[in-house]
Structure 1
Amino acid sequence: MAQKEKRSRKIKKKLLHKYRLVVLNEDTFEERFSFKLNRLNVFVFSTIFTLLLIIATTILIAFTPLREYIPGYSSTSLKLKATNLAYKTDSLQQELNVNQQYLASIRKVLTGDVKTVDFNKDSIINAAQLDPSIVNFNPSTEDSLLREKVAREDKYNPLANTGEINVVLFAPVKGNISSSYNPKEKHFAVDIVTVKDAPVKAVADGTVIFAAWTAETGYVMIIEHRNDIISAYKHNASLNKEQGELVKAGEVIATVGNTGELTTGPHLHFELWSDSYPIDPTNFIDFE
């Protein structure tokens, strides 16, 4: 116990022992200034100075542009720009994915690669709730006359009542129709039997939106025309146009063939679509 007290006094004495720091002129040894200090004061002052230096350095780096000169540290404006670009890139990627899915769906419909039919279930719920016994399904006289008038006009001109520029459709090939348009059997086309390698012509001016090989229907070409009209030509032996090319009415775009799994002989499988709905090509085109 006595040794501890003795040691403690010794340490205290060392810390509180006073020294004099004198600054002299080197040439004349004249005393410039002097002040008293001890080890405790030196330790306290050194600690305070170090803390102040650390705080000042931290503030200088955190709140001034000097931090941008630190290796690996980017500027705030650059980070903000990078964040905005990341958001924009993500939004563009999502929009691109949606567009690609939409185009893939349209391509499947136009090429006949559709396994299921989607419909709005809500639209049939209300219809199922109606009592058929109270609904009069007999057409009125006015309705029958109107249907007959529209059928006569549409037989020769698909756009007679649209008020837009009329479009004349040419026959893609000449031949006998082996399979007619039958929406009940989901045959939204006519099959025209003709000689192999006969020229297939565009029915109207337009742009090729699809020209490629498919397993079921062989070489397929799809052309988009004015007034939302689309024509499709399938089972071709070869294609003379590529996707994105412009074609004129009556221009040769392919040759008749027997390609694809769903074919039994040389013929042209021709489809005609208007406003995304299939229509009977024989109402507008004379194939014989």
Structure 2
Amino acid sequence: MATNTKEKKKFTKKLLNKYRLVILNEDTFEERISFKLNRLNVFVMVTLTGILLIFGTTFLIAFTPLREYIPGYSSTSLDLKATRLIAKVDSLESEIHVNQQYFNSIKKVLMGDVKTVDFDKDSVRLTQKLDPEKVDLSPSEADMQLREEVSREDKYNVFDTDKNTVDFSLFPPVKGAITAAYDVNEKHYAVDIAVTKDTPVKAAASGTVIFSEWTAETGHVLILDHGNGLLTVYKHNASLIKEQGEKVKEGEVIAIAGSTGELSTGPHLHFELWKDGFPTDPSNFIDFE
């Protein structure tokens, strides 16, 4: 016990022994600065300095823009750009999905699966923005009455509305006699124009080719999207000059007329005009003869 006590006193004495730190002029040995120190003071000062450095570095990394210069930390501006890009990509994916649904609806009409394109882009976009859990989908009494009234009406009455209105002039794709007129009762939503074989077929208006393929029933088919919900369809062609995705101008040659497909009975052009997903009589807007 006595030995332990002596060692403790000796250790305490070492810690408290006073020393003088003197800074001298090397040439004159003149004393410039001096400090009285002991080991305990030096230990405390070094410890406090280390703690302050740790806290200061942590503060700079956590709360100042200086952390952007440390490898492994991302820039605030880059994070903001990444967030904006993610939102833009999500928006583009939604737009692509809507357009794909629209093109699939058009394809069903061409293949004869359905008679009209029952698809509204604006309605689909609005639905995507809504939270389904917050939308009351139960029909109101007024809605039920409207459904009953519509169900009693002729399904072709929609063609008498403004949906089949075309607000600009169209260029005749070919010139010739109309051998089969537009007839809703016969479900012939087009006009057939008799032409000689290899007659050039021209675009009725400027637009984009959204379909350029072969079908068994209607042969070589080409569809143009002119914007504002207006589509023109050209069937039974001998060959197609334009491909899907190409831009065309009004009066530009897009195909060569012929008599292809199982439903064709001779060289002619089967021409359809669609407005907002509904067929309309092309002869009301184009003089083919």
Name the TM tier (shorter chain): 0.5 to 0.7
Return the letter of the residue paired with 2:40: L
Residue in structure 2 matched with residue 38 of structure 1 by the alignment? 38
Going from structure 1 to structure 2, the CA distance change for 1:8 and 1:183 (only over 3 Å counts) comes to farther
How far did residue 97 of structure 1 move? 2.0
- Distance in 2 between residues matched to 1:236 and 1:163, nearest whole Å: 25
The one-letter code of the counterpart of 1:35 is F
Supply the distance in 2 between the matched residues of 1:36 and 1:241 (Cα, whole angstroms).
95
CA distance in 2, matches of 1:220, 1:19: 102
Q: Which position in structure 2 is the counterpart of 1:143?
A: none
Change in 2 beyond 3 A, CA 1:4/1:172: farther
> How far apart in 1 are the matches of 2:87 and 2:265?
53
Shift of 1:12: 1.9
The Cα shift of 1:45 comes to 1.1
**Structure 1 residues 172 and 224, CA gap change in structure 2 (3 angstroms):** farther
Where structure 2 has 5 or more consecutive residues not aligned to the other structure, the ranges are: 121-136, 154-164
Shift of 1:44: 0.4
Report what 2:123 is aligned to: none
Within-5 A mapping of 1:87-106: 89-90=88-89, 92-94=91-93, 96-97=95-96, 100-101=99-100, 103-105=102-104
Q: How many residues align?
A: 254
Partners of 2:66 and 2:285 in 1: how far apart?
A: 77
Quote the sequence identity (%): 37
1:53-68 matches, within 5 Å, as 53-59=53-59, 66-68=66-68
Larger radius of gyration: 1
**In structure 1, what is the Cα distance between the partners aligned to 2:183 and 2:20?**
115
- Helix, strand or coil: the match of 1:206? coil
Tell whether the 8 Å contact from 1:173 to 1:192 is kept in structure 2 after alignment: yes
CA–CA separation in structure 2 for the residues paired with 1:75 and 1:109: 49
Aligned residue runs from structure 1 range 43-54, under 5 A? 43-54=43-54
**Separation in 1, partners of 2:260, 2:178:** 15
What is aligned with 1:16? 16
Give the Cα separation in 2 of the matches to 1:258 and 1:192.
Answer: 14
Partner of 1:222: 223
C-alpha deviation, 1:49, in angstroms: 2.1
Q: Quote the Cα distance in structure 2 between the aligned partners of 1:226 and 1:50.
A: 71
Please state whether the residue corresponding to 2:237 is helix, strand or coil. strand
CA distance in 1, matches of 2:228, 2:44: 90
- The answer to whether the Cα contact below 8 Å between 2:174 and 2:193 also exists between their aligned partners in 1 is no
1:93: Cα distance to partner?
Answer: 1.6
Are positions 1:258 and 2:257 aligned together?
A: no
Alpha-carbon RMSD:
4.9
TM-score by length of 2: 0.60
Post-superposition Cα deviations, 1:104-145, rounded to whole Å, max 9, x if no partner, equal 246426634645975899798425656x9xx9x9xxxxxxxx
Task: Name the structure 1 match of 2:133.
Answer: none
What amino acid is aligned across from residue 254 of structure 1 in structure 2?
I
Give the whole-Å Cα distance in 2 for the aligned partners of 1:36 and 1:237. Answer: 107
Amino acid at match of 1:126: Q
Alpha-carbon distance, 1:32 to partner? 3.6
CA drift at 1:215: 3.3
Q: Give, in angstroms, the shift of residue 42 of structure 1.
A: 0.7
Cα deviations by residue, 1:72-102 (Å, 9 ceiling, x for unpaired) = 55554x3365246425633652464256336
Which residue in the other structure is 2:110 paired with? 111
**SS of 1:258 mapped into structure 2:** coil
Q: Structure 1 counterpart of 2:249, which letter?
A: L
Supply the AA of the counterpart residue of 2:103.
Answer: A
Aligned partners of 2:233, 2:212: CA distance in 1, in Å? 12
- Seen in structure 2, the aligned counterparts of structure 1 residues 194 and 36 have a Cα distance that, compared at 3 Å, is closer
- Distance in 2, matches of 1:282 and 1:62, equals 73
1:205-220 aligned within 5 A: 205-207=204-206, 209-210=208-209, 212-216=212-216, 217-220=218-221
Asked if structure 2 preserves the Cα contact closer than 8 Å seen for 1:169 and 1:284, the reply is: no
Check the 8 A contact 1:171/1:285 in 2, yes or no: no
1:248 to 241, 244, 251: 251
In 2, are the aligned partners of 1:240 and 1:253 still within 8 Å (CA)? yes
| Paired residue type of 2:23 | V
